[in-house]
Structure 1
Amino acid sequence: MKKYDYILIGSGPAAYKMSNLLAGTTRKVLVIDGGEFGGTCPNYGCEPKIFLEGATRAVLQSQQLLGRGIKQAAQIDWHDLMTTKLNRFNPWPAETKAIIAKSHDVEDGYAHFVDEKTVVVNGHEYRSDHIIIATGQHPNHLDIPGDQWTHTSTDVLSLPHLPQHVTFIGAGYVAMELATVLGAAGAAVTLIDHSDRPLKAFPAKKAAVVKKAMEERGIEFLFNTGVQAVQQQDEGFIVQTDHGEVPTDYVVDASGRRPNIEQLALDKAGVQFDRGGVIVNDHLQTSNPHVYAIGDVVSRPQAKLTPVAEFEGQYLFDYLEGHSAAAIEYPTIGTAAFTFPEIAAAGVTEDDVRENSAYQVKSFDLHYASLAAGQNDQSGRLTLVFKDDLLVGASEVGDYAADDINNFLPVIGLRITGEQYRQAVITIYPALADKIASSLN
């Protein structure tokens, strides 16, 4: 049995961050992964998704400018786009594994615990006083008749041919972003969701703006609708719902994501978990004092995002290496859906404080600004939430909402007053400065 100072189960952003930091020490480290090295984000998540968004944005912005200086809208060549995407991303798992292997031992395979300090991979036993679970999440799979005909977001991100009609089950981040891409490429798109609105992580009125824009491009929404089965027919499929049938060529199960814990045999290590993932304390330690968890596999209220995972990897390295004994304290976290228009938020939103008089809410229509007018962005709306003269939250819908909200993160996180901001910063004009004018007064 080989012994290590650290065993990292997983190689996604959280584990990759920690393994890079440990590479600068003399610690003996083993990194185990049974999937693609690098995890979800660079292989079948945010990185390839944002790559496809580049062409998508160009097409949709050109459509938005027809008759306003643009004579012909751009079009997506799906085959060329996918070929370019695959050429870029297919080498990444091997490259990531090779980078890790320069400093640490690696093992291809799925690990499971046999006791509180020991895991087994491919029949080999490994032992450590510090085992870190960083296995991430995977797409949920609805247990319905015909579920063998459904696909995942992973499949869509490497889809060789564009179907004529795509039906998504779900209307969260994944479904809305991929529906935007496929719709821009020319597919007819239907989204089915059991709730009454899309993008429930964002303010309702701003999510409604995104929905309306997508509907105007021909994307169909069916809310308060449950999917009962998927049935194959001679040409395509039928999605059976409690409100009728939806003929389609391709079905994507985008009903959510689940933590990758099934194969770990956590009970053998005495590690507690729930439906959200592995339960940890404020030092990312599990119920087993020798086992920790970082990244999307952790059960926590904070958004499951790549930067949050990397933050946890940095924190755990500092804590276990004795650089800090403090409990983890999460900073202000920004999040966005790369639809068109985009939607983004950070901190407290207007929906959180609708009936709370301790907060002041200011909203701004952005389409009057010269920048938005030149881009014909008629959707832009920014909302800022203040408490005791401090900015505590921001949300926006618009063509560049993610970048705009990123500009507010330091103001929120550093607790800067409007006066301090004005004395310290003069922003580039006419960009965000043109949009928000004196909003921080």
Structure 2
Amino acid sequence: MSEFDLDLFVIGGGSGGVRAARIAAQTGAKVGLAEEYRFGGTCVIRGCVPKKLMVYASSFSDAFDDAEGFGWSVGATSFDWWKLIAAKDTEISRLENIYLTNLRKAGVHVFTSRARLTDAHTVELVNGKSFRAKHILIATGGTPFVPDIPGAELGITSNEIFDLKEQPRRIMIVGGGYIACEFACIMNGLGSHVTQAYRGTQILRGFDDDVRDHVADAMRERGVEIMLAHEPASITKEADGLHVTLKNNDLSIVDQVLFATGRHANTRGLGLEEAGVKLKPNGAIAVDEWSQTSVPSIYAVGDVTDRVALTPVAIREGHAFADTVFGGTPRKADHELIPTAVFTQPEIGTVGMSEAEARETGEIEIYRSTFRPMLNTLGGRDEKMLLKLIVAKDSRKVLGCHIVGHGAGEMAQLVAIPMRMGATKEDFDNTMAVHPTAAEELVTMRTPVE
């Protein structure tokens, strides 16, 4: 008789944990999974999926504005916040059910419960029931960080904005990362007056500087008030709204404050320290390249490890873990050349190095094109697209590709494939253009900028 009840117990029912549990179970392993909230995790329930639905909703304001230039007569339009939220809820519930159904079809024992470690092989549920597992996987993701200022409890995070009963007429979004910028554009497109307060000197830290400047300018043109080198000092509730006092003593009066000030690993109360699992200084779980922690029987994937906080990365890490430990095909998740999109308006798609990063590796050439796409001509919109390639001068290898504009995320996914194969600038040049498209600029830029 085995000393273990299960071959694997997964704590966390998000994208990474669900993928690992399903793949492991399909090899014949006996798998349990506990999720305390809803299956699908941050991405499906309160992240990527509902956000993208709201991005689509907010983009219709552009379509209505542009339609007249293309010969359409559009009458009076109005937006119903609650109708969008209700439709979003229906879709999220459908997706959650798919996640749960697929787990059960794979043979995973599912527990809707919080779980914690009591030792290197034991998981305990809140009802006191415990399981001995040969391997344990932590996939509890991340949680929003809220700054410690007076009145912070009056604000909300990206967790709560999807469930607001009413659309705020005036909203302050605190932060300059992709979540803050995406929601600034969403709420602006839906008709709210948006103020974005960020303590840094430019939004979207970590992205290519040309991209940052281009998107910031476009957001301002669309009506988002971006306040750089500003951050709240306190919030009070008054009769006319929330009074946000900034650290420079300026005052903003809004109906809602959204904190998008970063996320941290969701590791509290999991019993990790008691089990001997080493944590990073920021509270994330320290793992090696195989996603194994300092305790050999315990692994971790996804945002809880603070490697690359993206859903496809968590899925790839979870799958690699299951293949390695249960599938007999050891492999590591490759964190190089990860394409990503930021669903601002205009949209960002990027893969590879920024210009600043590339300059640290040696001599480079920059190919850049800024133009008004055909979509904006008849609509009378002045907003431009940006396409930028960063090329190593000696090897001619394309080190980075950065796109801002309609369909940028779709382009980034496709261009990531040749880049991972080591494509050179001449490989791009020798590829026939698809005309008329915005993406053809990727293969028609011939002269490097000064």
Same fold flag (TM > 0.5): yes
Distance between the aligned counterparts of 2:44 and 2:120, measured in 1?
A: 31
Conservation of the 8 A alpha-carbon contact between 2:172 and 2:195: yes
The corresponding residue for 1:76 is 79
Superposed, which structure 2 residues align to 1:150-299 within 5 Å?
150-243=155-248, 244-274=250-280, 275=282, 277-299=284-306
Shift of 1:259: 0.8
Shift of 1:342: 0.9
Check if 1:106 corresponds to 2:110.
Answer: yes
Count of residues in Structure 1 that have an aligned counterpart in Structure 2:
437
The match for 2:319 among 310, 314, 329 is 314
DSSP 3-state at the match of 2:348: strand
The letter for the 2-side match of 1:114 is: T
Check if 1:49 corresponds to 2:59.
Answer: no
Check if 1:392 corresponds to 2:422.
Answer: no
Distance between the aligned counterparts of 2:132 and 2:295, measured in 1?
A: 14
Conservation of the 8 A alpha-carbon contact between 1:207 and 1:343: no
Deviations, residues 230-258 of structure 1 (Å, cap 9, x unaligned): 10112321111112211111111111111
The letter for the 1-side match of 2:266 is: N
Shift of 1:363: 0.9
Deviations, residues 117-155 of structure 1 (Å, cap 9, x unaligned): 112112111111210000001111222211221111121
Superposed, which structure 2 residues align to 1:361-380 within 5 Å?
361-367=366-372, 370=374, 373=377, 376=381, 378-380=383-385
Superposed, which structure 2 residues align to 1:337-352 within 5 Å?
337-352=342-357
TM-score scaled by structure 2? Answer: 0.90
Conservation of the 8 A alpha-carbon contact between 2:27 and 2:327: no
The match for 2:412 among 371, 381, 405 is 405
Q: List 4+ stretches of structure 1 deviating above 6 A.
A: none
Deviates more, 1:7-16 or 1:213-222: 213-222
Structure 1 unpaired stretches of 5+: none
Distance between the aligned counterparts of 2:360 and 2:426, measured in 1?
A: 27
The match for 1:3 among 2, 5, 15 is 5
Deviations, residues 95-135 of structure 1 (Å, cap 9, x unaligned): 43343233111112221111111121121111112100000
DSSP 3-state at the match of 2:357: coil
TM-score scaled by structure 1? Answer: 0.92
Conservation of the 8 A alpha-carbon contact between 1:273 and 1:299: no
DSSP 3-state at the match of 2:355: coil
The letter for the 1-side match of 2:42 is: T
Check if 1:88 corresponds to 2:118.
Answer: no
Distance between the aligned counterparts of 2:217 and 2:20, measured in 1?
A: 42
Distance between the aligned counterparts of 1:273 and 1:143, measured in 2?
A: 23
Identity %: 28
Conservation of the 8 A alpha-carbon contact between 1:192 and 1:221: yes
Distance between the aligned counterparts of 2:97 and 2:143, measured in 1?
A: 20
The letter for the 2-side match of 1:320 is: V
Shift of 1:432: 4.3
DSSP 3-state at the match of 2:13: coil
DSSP 3-state at the match of 1:87: helix
